[in-house]
């Protein structure tokens, strides 16, 4: 099962952890209705989503956010989640780990 750690971009402190499990859609953004909320003016109300693709793999997709979603300093539209992946969303780094559970 994939695990998500939300870390501060400066210093790397782990702020929250989530087990992703069998999800249909998970919305990340600053809006109160988001599944994972990042309270920052540089994060869009609905910044990005995580969904399963046709093969059952988890994919993170940018929701046409104003500030963008980045992997290795490159702006991305979508990326397949894998162990060790780090995605930057505003002041946060989303770190993905295969938990082995």
pTM of the entire structure?
0.92
- Which has the higher per-residue pLDDT, 4 or 1? 4
Q: What is the pLDDT of residue 22?
A: 73
Secondary structure E strands in 1-101: 2-8, 14-19, 25-29, 36-37, 48-52, 58-62, 70-71, 74-75, 78-80, 86-89, 92-98
Task: Give the pLDDT confidence of 4-15 residue by residue, as tens digits.
Answer: 999 999 888 999
List, in order, residues 6 or more apart from 13 with CB less than 8 Å away. Answer: 7
* Distance from C-alpha of 13 to C-alpha of 5, rounded to nearest angstrom: 10
> What is the C-alpha R_g of the chain?
12
């Amino acid at each position: 099962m994939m695990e998500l750690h939300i870390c501060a971009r400066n210093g790397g402190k782990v702020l929250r952890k989530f087990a992703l499990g069998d999800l249909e859609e998970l919305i990340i953004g600053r809006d109160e209705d988001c599944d994972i909320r990042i309270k920052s003016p540089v994060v869009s109300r609905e910044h990005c989503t995580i969904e399963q693709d046709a093969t059952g793999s988890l994919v993170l997709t940018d929701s046409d956010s104003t500030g963008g979603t980045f992997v290795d300093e490159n702006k991305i539209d979508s990326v397949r989640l894998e162990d060790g992946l780090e995605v930057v969303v505003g002041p946060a780094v989303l770190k993905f780990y295969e938990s082995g559970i």
